[in-house]
Amino acid sequence: MQEVMWMLSNIVADSEHHIQMVIDAGLMPAVMERLGCGKFSVQKEAVWIVSNCLAVGTPEQVKYMVEQGAVGTLCHLLASYATPSMITTILDGLNNTLSKAGEDSEVILTQMKEADGLDMIEKLQQHGDQNIYRLACSIKSHFPDV
What pLDDT, in 10s, does the model give residues 42-63?
999 999 999 999 999 999 999 9
Q: What is the CATH number of domain 2-141?
A: 1.25.10.10
Residue 138 and residue 131 in contact, taking contact as beta carbons nearer than 8 Å: no
DSSP state of 41: H
**Domain range list for the chain:** 2-141
Q: Find out whether 77 and 90 touch, Cβ atoms under 8 Å.
A: yes
pLDDT tens per residue, range 77-120:
998 877 899 999 999 999 999 988 888 888 999 999 999 999 99
SS3 91: helix
pTM: 0.92
